[in-house]
Amino acid sequence: MSDIKTICLKAFEDKFGAKPQMQEYAPGRVNIIGEHTDYNGGFVLPCAIKYGTCMVAKENGSNKMRILAVDMNNDYDEFEIAPKIEKHPTKLWVNYLRGVTYQLAQKFGDKVKGLDIAIKGDVPPGAGLSSSASLEVCFGHLVSSAFGLNVPLMDIALMGQAAEAYIGMKCGIMDQAISANGTVDHLVRIDCKSYGLTQVAVPKDLVILIINSNIKHQLVGSEYNDRRESCEKAASIMGVPLLRDATMEMLEKFKDKMDDVTYRRARHVITEDQRVLDASKAFESGDLKTLAKLMYASHVSMRDDFEITVKETDALVEIVKEALGEEYAAVRQTGGGFGGCVVAVVEPKNVQKVKDAVNAKYKAVSGIDATIFETTACAGATFTKL
């Protein structure tokens, strides 16, 4: 974080010729278990990671947001804060911010004023670690804090989610919710129906490893929305508002009324919800063997029923499983899918074993190297006056 802040400060001064008055930071996330359950009203178990987005800012006395994106080759955009804010025709990065401003302006009108902002992040893009959610939450929390709007963290998350919908991605609430509500040394179980948050301590003797397949996932695409439609279809066939409200018994009862794909999509979500609840317990009691069973089962379910894994992430999971032995292989693909990262929860003594195995075997499958890093569970959005 200190590196991106330093770069941000310098870029701000170069562009706007003044010192910023405030700073905001919001992290990316890794999801330990509970995939594609959020928009079904179910449970997820993510934590905030050590990478995120930093913004430094200053009030500019106008009704314009003037924004410098250091990571986009110092690309710049400005737009008026108005009741209706159009999308930029080509700059995706700023549309996340236009989308959040639109939400804020609708709710708070002219209390939302102009800021000069420089942005820099270090969440690897396209890795399924929520670089866009961290951007939205960072910006929403910055504006709320700058103008004393006191928007509750979960409402900031909802505005980020709405910004994704504005761009065309009908995502759930997980990424924004954890970026806003991350808690040091804790996973946060999110009940995506009630928005209730439960902290689950990460045992001191377990390490969270993230292995990036370096196969980019692109979520603003049809596959994600297509999965969501299948889930909605299954819920409607069973006569429940959300798959969260269905059980495996109900699904079996309605099996004949749905096609095989819809059935398997629903089976993933219903069984995954239960795995999240069980995994929370396993974490609390430091039961790595149970966690391993649940995380691997989650991967298999994503691979065979939800069909969102790719051969490279499947290979990474098998490589880790082989290195640690089945009993201790708490490993699965994480995030929206179609590439991105694998997450593993391992004992410190096994970290090197996993790294060695991945370095030795992954390239033969994928033609490229994987990137591996450890993270602790980190804090959520944080505003600081400079």
Least distance (Å) from ligand GLA to the CB of residue 243?
Answer: 13
Interacting residue with ligand GLA among 16, 32, 38, 145 (CB under 6 A): 38
Question: In this structure, are residues 155 and 7 in contact, taking their beta carbons and an 8 Å threshold?
Answer: no
Residue closer to ligand GLA (CB basis): 114 or 172: 172
Least distance (Å) from ligand GLA to the CB of residue 300?
Answer: 16
Least distance (Å) from ligand GLA to the CB of residue 247?
Answer: 21
Least distance (Å) from ligand GLA to the CB of residue 46?
Answer: 9
Question: In this structure, are residues 55 and 23 in contact, taking their beta carbons and an 8 Å threshold?
Answer: yes
Q: Which is nearest to 130 in space by CA: 199, 268, 38, 229?
A: 38
**Is residue 39 part of the contact set for ligand GLA (CB under 6 A)?**
yes
**Is residue 276 part of the contact set for ligand GLA (CB under 6 A)?**
no
Residue closer to ligand GLA (CB basis): 175 or 312: 175
Least distance (Å) from ligand GLA to the CB of residue 364?
Answer: 29
Tokens for 92? 């995706």
Residue closer to ligand GLA (CB basis): 35 or 71: 35
Least distance (Å) from ligand GLA to the CB of residue 212?
Answer: 15
**Is residue 42 part of the contact set for ligand GLA (CB under 6 A)?**
no
Q: What distance in Å separates the CA atoms of residue 383 and residue 386, rounded to the nearest whole number?
A: 10
Residue closer to ligand GLA (CB basis): 23 or 31: 31
SS3 28: strand
Helix (H) or strand (E) holding 345: strand 341-346
Question: In this structure, are residues 186 and 199 in contact, taking their beta carbons and an 8 Å threshold?
Answer: yes
Helix (H) or strand (E) holding 317: helix 311-324
Least distance (Å) from ligand GLA to the CB of residue 65?
Answer: 24
Q: What distance in Å separates the CA atoms of residue 384 and residue 386, rounded to the nearest whole number?
A: 6
Which of these is catalytic: 71, 116, 175, 273? 175
Helix (H) or strand (E) holding 191: strand 186-191
**Is residue 24 part of the contact set for ligand GLA (CB under 6 A)?**
no
Q: What distance in Å separates the CA atoms of residue 101 and residue 63, rounded to the nearest whole number?
A: 11
Least distance (Å) from ligand GLA to the CB of residue 152?
Answer: 19
Stretch that binds ligand GLA, among 36-44, 309-317, 346-354, 363-371 (CB under 6 A): 36-44
CA distances from 25 to 54, 118, 134, 194, 386 (A): 4, 12, 8, 26, 13
Phi/psi of residue 219, each to 5°?
Answer: -85, -25
Stretch that binds ligand GLA, among 30-38, 261-269, 348-356, 374-382 (CB under 6 A): 30-38
Question: In this structure, are residues 268 and 302 in contact, taking their beta carbons and an 8 Å threshold?
Answer: yes
Residues between 83 and 142 with contacts to ligand GLA, criterion CB under 6 A: none
Tokens for 313? 């992430």
DSSP assignment letter at 383: E
Residues in the chain: 386
Residues between 152 and 181 with contacts to ligand GLA, criterion CB under 6 A: 171-172, 174-175
Q: Is 369 a catalytic residue?
A: no
Q: What distance in Å separates the CA atoms of residue 100 and residue 113, rounded to the nearest whole number?
A: 13
Stretch that binds ligand GLA, among 34-42, 83-91, 118-126, 349-357 (CB under 6 A): 34-42
Helix (H) or strand (E) holding 40: none
**Is residue 35 part of the contact set for ligand GLA (CB under 6 A)?**
yes
Residues between 319 and 348 with contacts to ligand GLA, criterion CB under 6 A: 335-336
Question: In this structure, are residues 158 and 181 in contact, taking their beta carbons and an 8 Å threshold?
Answer: no
**Is residue 305 part of the contact set for ligand GLA (CB under 6 A)?**
no
How many residues in the shown chain lie near ligand GLA by CB under 6 A? 11
Residue closer to ligand GLA (CB basis): 20 or 128: 128
Question: In this structure, are residues 296 and 321 in contact, taking their beta carbons and an 8 Å threshold?
Answer: yes
Stretch that binds ligand GLA, among 35-43, 52-60, 234-242, 280-288 (CB under 6 A): 35-43
Residues between 219 and 258 with contacts to ligand GLA, criterion CB under 6 A: 219
Point out the residues that are catalytic: 175
Footprint of ligand GLA on this chain (CB under 6 A)? 35-36, 38-39, 171-172, 174-175, 219, 335-336
